[in-house]
């Protein structure tokens, strides 16, 4: 038998020590795995915390500026252009410069009749327009432009519009069906007649060629003996100068904006109808905005902006009549007897509208009654 000797003892000590070190290392690894599992669990919980998540998103959004183009068919420096310049400034201030809106007046981005296509395809991001340009898309909304139904000021009629939105869901649904975000919705002041021939009664309208904005009013003017002419308001002034048309039925704010009072001599201050005017945004562009920016833009839009727009348009009406009087033109204010002469044609147009829209599955008769009730509530005697 061989003796281990001093070398054998040392070797035994070294081997024993190595075994101890291996066991300690294994224990440390096991402990490390336990610690890793323990520390990662809270980290995962923090990452999905509903408070922490939006804070990170908001911080990232602060670095991005969202820029949008607004198309407006009324001319530069018109009251509508001035309104949207002021609104764009409010949006800028409300969002601390994170949302910027550039206004393009004068239909420079495209024909007013192509407005919905423009906002859907990205030629513009925001559009101000008139439902009468798009009768196929706004069937229920056209109740608001029925003849002789809304006799009030822009502010009074706008109150009817918003009450109708709240009570009749089909009004707002027509915007949503077009993938549009409704930012503002107001009534123009009720339309008036401007012409180169004195019109003091319904009989005086016969055989006149008048520019009419479209919608149910067209059926009424046909019943009154008028030949309705469709044309964008941008062509109105020149057409009057060249006697292509005899006159127009147009809201006072539009008459002022396009200076359409200059080429005509006579005015009939009869409330023919109200124009439903709207400001919409491409829904995909709206949804690109973070929730906090959507809330801030909404704070300066909606009914607040609509009421401000209506107030501005009523001021435009007063400005128009002042300009007409200063120019020495003739203004006829109809008596109740004269008004009554226009009613049969209006009733005929309303009945036709109810029949057509009912066939489309719309509660047309209910909408007419609802508007009538809201007029009694909102329009001052």
Task: Examine residue 38 and state whether it is found in any structural domain, yes or no.
Answer: no
Quote the tokens at residue 130: 């008139």
- Measuring CA to CA, how many Å separate 23 from each of 17, 53, 145, 310? 10, 43, 89, 84
Which of 266, 217, 262 has the alpha carbon at shortest distance from 236? Answer: 262
Task: Examine residue 133 and state whether it is found in any structural domain, yes or no.
Answer: yes
Quote the tokens at residue 224: 């009154």
Same structural domain for residues 250 and 339? yes
Grouping H, G, I as helix, E, B as strand and the rest as coil, residue 229 is strand
Query: Domain span at residue 179?
Result: 64-189+275-315
The residue that leads in pLDDT, 94 or 56, is 94
Task: Tell me what percent of the residues of the chain surpass a pLDDT of 70.
Answer: 83
Whole-number pLDDT of residue 260: 96
Cβ(75)–Cβ(105) below 8 Å = yes
Q: Region 260-274: what's the mean pLDDT?
A: 96
CATH code for the domain of 129: 3.40.190.170
Backbone phi, psi, residue 249, to 5° = -115, 115
Same structural domain for residues 110 and 172? yes
Same structural domain for residues 216 and 266? yes
Same structural domain for residues 118 and 70? yes
* Mean pLDDT (the chain, rounded): 85
Same structural domain for residues 68 and 181? yes
Q: Looking up tokens 């610690």, which residue turns up?
A: 35
Same structural domain for residues 364 and 236? yes
Q: Region 88-103: what's the mean pLDDT?
A: 98
CB proximity list for 79: less than 8 A, separation 6 or greater: 253, 256, 257, 312, 313, 315, 316
Number of domains into which the chain is organized: 2
Grouping H, G, I as helix, E, B as strand and the rest as coil, residue 124 is coil
Same structural domain for residues 176 and 298? yes
Task: Examine residue 47 and state whether it is found in any structural domain, yes or no.
Answer: no
- Measuring CA to CA, how many Å separate 305 from each of 226, 282, 298? 36, 18, 9
Out of 260, 294, 315, pick the residue that ends a domain: 315
Q: pTM, whole model, 2 decimals? A: 0.78
Same structural domain for residues 263 and 286? no
Out of 264, 284, 315, pick the residue that ends a domain: 315
Task: Examine residue 58 and state whether it is found in any structural domain, yes or no.
Answer: no
Same structural domain for residues 102 and 132? yes
Same structural domain for residues 256 and 365? yes
Same structural domain for residues 162 and 227? no
Task: Examine residue 125 and state whether it is found in any structural domain, yes or no.
Answer: yes
Please state at what angle helix 154-167 crosses helix 302-326, rounded to 10 degrees.
Answer: 150
Task: Examine residue 119 and state whether it is found in any structural domain, yes or no.
Answer: yes
Out of 260, 285, 315, pick the residue that ends a domain: 315
Whole-number pLDDT of residue 213: 82
- Measuring CA to CA, how many Å separate 202 from each of 145, 248, 266, 337? 20, 15, 15, 11
Cβ(191)–Cβ(220) below 8 Å = no
Whole-number pLDDT of residue 259: 94
Cα–Cα distance between 325 and 1 in angstroms, integer? Answer: 137
Q: Cα torsion at 314, 316, 317, 321 (round to 10°)? A: 150
**Which residues pair with residue 71 across a beta bridge?**
104, 127
Cα–Cα distance between 365 and 264 in angstroms, integer? Answer: 38
Task: Examine residue 20 and state whether it is found in any structural domain, yes or no.
Answer: no
pLDDT per position as a tens digit, 329-377: 999 999 999 999 999 999 999 999 999 999 999 999 999 999 999 999 8
pLDDT per position as a tens digit, 107-149: 999 999 999 999 999 999 999 999 988 999 999 999 999 999 9
Residue 279 has pLDDT above 90, yes or no: yes
Same structural domain for residues 311 and 324? no
Task: Examine residue 10 and state whether it is found in any structural domain, yes or no.
Answer: no
């Amino acid at each position: 038998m061989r003796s281990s000797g001093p070398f054998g003892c040392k070797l035994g000590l070294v081997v024993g020590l190595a075994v101890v070190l291996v066991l300690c290392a294994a224990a440390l690894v096991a402990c490390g795995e336990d610690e890793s599992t323990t520390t990662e669990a809270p980290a995962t919980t923090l990452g999905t915390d509903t408070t922490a998540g939006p804070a990170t998103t908001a911080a990232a959004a602060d670095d991005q500026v969202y820029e949008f183009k607004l198309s407006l068919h009324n001319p530069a420096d018109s009251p509508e252009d001035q309104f949207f310049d002021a609104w764009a400034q409010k949006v800028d201030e409300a969002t601390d410069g994170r949302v910027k809106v550039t206004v393009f007046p004068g239909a420079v981005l495209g024909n007013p009749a192509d407005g919905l296509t423009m906002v859907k395809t990205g030629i513009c991001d925001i559009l101000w327009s008139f439902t009468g340009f798009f009768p196929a898309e706004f069937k229920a909304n056209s109740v608001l432009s029925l003849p002789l139904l809304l006799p009030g000021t822009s502010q009074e009629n706008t109150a009817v519009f918003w009450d109708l939105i709240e009570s009749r869901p089909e009004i707002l649904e027509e915007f949503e069906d077009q993938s549009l975000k409704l930012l503002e919705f107001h009534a123009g002041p009720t339309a008036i007649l401007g012409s180169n021939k004195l019109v003091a009664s319904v009989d005086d309208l016969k055989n006149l060629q008048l520019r009419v904005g479209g919608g149910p009013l067209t059926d009424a003017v046909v019943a009154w003996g008028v030949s309705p002419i469709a044309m964008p308001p941008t062509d109105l002034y020149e057409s009057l100068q060249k006697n292509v048309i005899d006159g127009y039925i147009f809201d006072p704010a539009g008459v002022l904006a396009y200076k359409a009072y200059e080429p005509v001599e006579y005015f009939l201050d009869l409330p023919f109808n109200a124009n439903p005017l709207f400001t919409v945004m491409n829904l995909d562009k709206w949804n690109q905005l973070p929730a906090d920016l959507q809330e801030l833009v909404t704070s300066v839009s909606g009914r607040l902006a609509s009421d401000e727009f209506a107030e501005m348009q009523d001021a435009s009406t007063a400005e128009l009549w002042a300009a007409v009087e200063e120019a020495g033109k003739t203004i006829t204010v109809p008596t109740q007897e004269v008004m009554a002469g226009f009613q049969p044609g209006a009733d005929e147009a309303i009945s036709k509208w109810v029949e057509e829209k009912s066939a489309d599955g719309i509660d047309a008769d209910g909408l007419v009654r609802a508007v009538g009730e809201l007029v009694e509530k909102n329009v001052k005697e």
